[in-house]
Structure 1
Amino acid sequence: MNVIEHDNIGGIARKLPELRKLAGKTQPRLAAEANVSLSLLKKVEQGKVPASPAFISTVARALKVGIADLTQQPYPRTTRDEQQVHAGISDLRRELAAYRLDPDDDLPARPFAQLATDVAKASLLRHAVRLGDLGTLLPSLLADLRIAWTHTTGTDRERLFGLAAETYAAASQVAYKLGYIDLSSLAVDRYEWAAALSGDELLVLCGDYQRAGELLGTADWNTATRLLEHSRGRIEPSIGTADERTLSMWGNLHLKSALVAARTGNRDLADAHLTEATETAQRIGQDLNHFQLCFGPTNVAIWSVGLAVEMMDGTTAITRAADVRIPKTTPHERAGHHYIDLARGYLLHGDRPAAFGALQKAKTIGATQTRYHPMVHETIRVLAREEARSTESVRGFAAWCGIIQ
């Protein structure tokens, strides 16, 4: 058995006191400004409790720093394999910067069918959490789309912008999951731009869904709430006779609204939005993947667990998880995320062995997503710190995440 010392595994428990002192704030002052309990703040700094997404965003806002300043993302790359996973980021950054510019060379546009096939491939890689392969594909695909819409007009051009929006969504996800938070936000900007040119109102609303996620990251709960209310209002009059695509967007907007409510601690409102999403999924009756958001009974059940965790209610999360059945067809990204949330739920409930078991399950489903997820880092750090002597398996997992050497 090896003792894992606190100083060896750092994380937010180490970084938060540094940033707090640089800002000249005491623990009581920061707790008051961030609207978090002093007890929770102390426990996070002591490494006894993992920092939740809500805690991270609201404390970052109070400290006037970015989320990445607290989580220290992107994480260091120490192996050739890790470097390869990140290899496409620099090219992706260049393509996102050049998005409105005409191509330098008079290159022929690829046929729409070929581009659509590659966009579908990108979405499959996204859902399989094959981030290295996705990052390699995206820059050239976005460049090809840029060439194509330059040579196209009318409804064909709108269809290309629909493909571009889907590709920008994949770009946002690969950047976010690898820890490039600002680059992910830039890709959301590009999504909104392409969606507005697609002629598809539902794609525009999907942009609102993504923008609400950006607002959550800045702890701007009120603006996120207003945006989502406005977005739902645009399709609410037609919901009674809506098709599956519209219903999927309606349900997803309610799920995002539930997350905003959960982050603010409004359990009743979060549950009301979850109920609306559940009823919508039951009305559809199957798992669909419009807008690459995987809306349906399975994903709503996964969200129900995550929402309980967001409200720091591990017992409810575990209770809800007992009824979750994840089909083999569920994208790895969603299934893996479920077990990452469930690990946090078990930890809140006080069942550390089950928490570690859930992390191992998440790794089996989506290793790269698990390796780079900040909530995995926070969970495994607390598991390591809370044990007088860590087991070799816990230590090995922490080392695999890059937390200890």
Structure 2
Amino acid sequence: MDHTDDVGALIRSARSAQRITQEQLGQQVGYSASAISRIEANKMRLDPHVAPLMARALRLPLQWLSGSTVPQVANIATVATGRMPDEEDAVRRRDLLTGAAAAGAMAIVGTGPAAALPAADLEDVLFKLPSAEPTPLPELVARTTAARRAFTAARYSDLGRILPGLLATAEATRNASDGPDRRQASAVLARAYVLAAEHASKQHSDAAWVAADRALTAARSSGMPVPVGEAARVLAITMRRSGNWSSAVHLLAREASELDTANPRTGAVRTTLQLTAAYSAAAGQDRTTALALLDAADDDVKHHPDVPDGLFTVEATHTQVDVYRIGVLNTLGTPDEGVKTAADLNIDLMPTAERRARAWTDIARMWHALGDSQQTFTALRHVEQEAPQEVRRPSLRALTSHLLYGPTRVQGLREFAARTGALAGA
């Protein structure tokens, strides 16, 4: 039987043996309960960087989750529990689950500084926008630009408060407009939905699908290549995270081919599409395509330097390419190949806190995959320094918990875990 036919049942059986819910497992590895449900139903592929966390949470050999031999499901309970748990194991597991659950509640319900719009609430907003009146286009652009600044500064709680009203006002303004104003309003609406998709992706929420699809529909109505390219990028990310990496690469390649490469602005968009396509190909373990796309993006940067813009996020620089290269190599399972790139990387050149924090996140994952706990922790501290709310995301809290309960003692880690929500009650 094919490996992919068994992994969902394997995870479900091991989770049941541990007597934890989908929500509790999700909080340990940085996924929503709905994402765990889809993984167990083999409707979503497990991200490579999450597999080690999942294996540890379920007490399974990593190779069972990453492409090697998958045992009969009937044998999982024995392996997952290992033996009759003694008091120390029971206390340790209970502490881990309690800490993860409380950390998740703190970030989702909103009792700490990282409170953001909960994933479930975002889904409700998308399907039933609040009532709003149209507003003049310059005011709508200013509000959307402010929302983008909140995202790039990694102020996700601010963005969560802004999004419902922004989406409703942008929809009302677009619907009340015609001619050139309608096309411009559609572009702004696309930007607002892109922000909603990115916000949902941070929480691994299925709401990202809805927001990304609406972003692309609005972008196409605008007839403008930059909004279309950016909306296609976030839609491709949702495809990749659902396991449809080949569809993501196809979408990005098609959109990139339709851009005018002689125009610096659209050339920069093309580069960002190539970078996302490279990561998507890596998710499918297509090393040749992934590296070729990285090299093409690096070559394009020489001809199309980044053009700053207050409304749309288009970043096409050599530094950005290098960050993607580290992420791609991590995903391909060859993190050692990214060490030199990371050593030469000047993250301070990146223009926003969110991007700098993401770069340090990829470096943290690289060192974690290489088994260097101290370097992993150092990178996580940099994430916190750049963007305190970023380090409280579920996936990074899960990585911090994995370090905390790992075999290596790292000075300051426990305090960091308590401070960032990965360890409650400490």
TM bracket (short chain): 0.7 to 0.9
- Residue 94 of structure 2 corresponds to which residue in structure 1? none
The correspondence for 1:221, drawn from 240, 245, 266, is: 245
3-state SS, counterpart of residue 312 of structure 2: helix
> Does residue 278 in structure 1 map to residue 312 in structure 2?
no
* Contact kept in structure 2, 1:169 and 1:191, CA below 8 Å: yes
- Residue 149 of structure 1 corresponds to which residue in structure 2? 174
Which string of whole-angstrom CA distances, capped at 9 and with x for unpartnered residues, describes residues 29-82 of structure 1? x9x99999xxx9799524599989x969xx9xxxxxxxxxxx999932278543
Q: Which amino acid in the other structure matches residue 110 of structure 1?
A: T
Aligned pairs (5 A) from 1:222-261:
222-235=246-259, 238-239=260-261, 242-261=262-281
> Does residue 135 in structure 1 map to residue 155 in structure 2?
no
The correspondence for 1:265, drawn from 282, 285, 299, is: 285
* Contact kept in structure 1, 2:226 and 2:269, CA below 8 Å: yes
> Does residue 17 in structure 1 map to residue 14 in structure 2?
yes
TM-score normalised over the length of structure 1 = 0.76
- Residue 382 of structure 1 corresponds to which residue in structure 2? 402
* Offset at residue 148 of structure 1 (A): 1.8
In structure 1, list runs of 5 or more residues that go unmatched: 1-12, 23-29, 60-70
**For the residues of structure 2 that align with 1:403 and 1:317, how far apart are their CA atoms?**
27
* Offset at residue 90 of structure 1 (A): 6.8
**For the residues of structure 1 that align with 2:43 and 2:227, how far apart are their CA atoms?**
37
* Contact kept in structure 2, 1:305 and 1:321, CA below 8 Å: yes
> Does residue 183 in structure 1 map to residue 207 in structure 2?
yes
**For the residues of structure 2 that align with 1:273 and 1:85, how far apart are their CA atoms?**
37
The correspondence for 2:323, drawn from 265, 289, 302, is: 302
TM-score normalised over the length of structure 2 = 0.73
**For the residues of structure 1 that align with 2:288 and 2:250, how far apart are their CA atoms?**
18
* Offset at residue 167 of structure 1 (A): 0.9
Task: Note closer, same or farther for the CA distance 1:354–1:259 as it changes in structure 2 (3 Å cut).
Answer: same
Taking only aligned residues, the RMSD between alpha carbons, in angstroms, comes to: 3.8
**Number of equivalences:** 356
- Residue 112 of structure 2 corresponds to which residue in structure 1? 82
Q: Which amino acid in the other structure matches residue 402 of structure 1?
A: G
Task: Note closer, same or farther for the CA distance 1:73–1:20 as it changes in structure 2 (3 Å cut).
Answer: farther
Q: Which has the higher contact order (CA 8 A, sep 6+)?
A: 1
Which string of whole-angstrom CA distances, capped at 9 and with x for unpartnered residues, describes residues 286-336 of structure 1? 464583132222211221221121122222222111121123562111100
* Offset at residue 135 of structure 1 (A): 1.2
> Does residue 194 in structure 1 map to residue 213 in structure 2?
no
**For the residues of structure 2 that align with 1:301 and 1:49, how far apart are their CA atoms?**
33
Deviates more, 1:131-140 or 1:180-189: 180-189
- Residue 55 of structure 2 corresponds to which residue in structure 1? 45
**For the residues of structure 2 that align with 1:379 and 1:55, how far apart are their CA atoms?**
18
* Offset at residue 265 of structure 1 (A): 2.1
State the percentage of identical aligned residues: 22
**For the residues of structure 2 that align with 1:49 and 1:330, how far apart are their CA atoms?**
41
**For the residues of structure 2 that align with 1:16 and 1:245, how far apart are their CA atoms?**
50
**For the residues of structure 2 that align with 1:34 and 1:400, how far apart are their CA atoms?**
32
- Residue 208 of structure 1 corresponds to which residue in structure 2? 232
Task: Note closer, same or farther for the CA distance 1:150–1:43 as it changes in structure 2 (3 Å cut).
Answer: closer
**For the residues of structure 2 that align with 1:167 and 1:277, how far apart are their CA atoms?**
26
In structure 2, list runs of 5 or more residues that go unmatched: 1-9, 20-39, 71-99
3-state SS, counterpart of residue 271 of structure 1: helix
> Does residue 371 in structure 1 map to residue 392 in structure 2?
yes
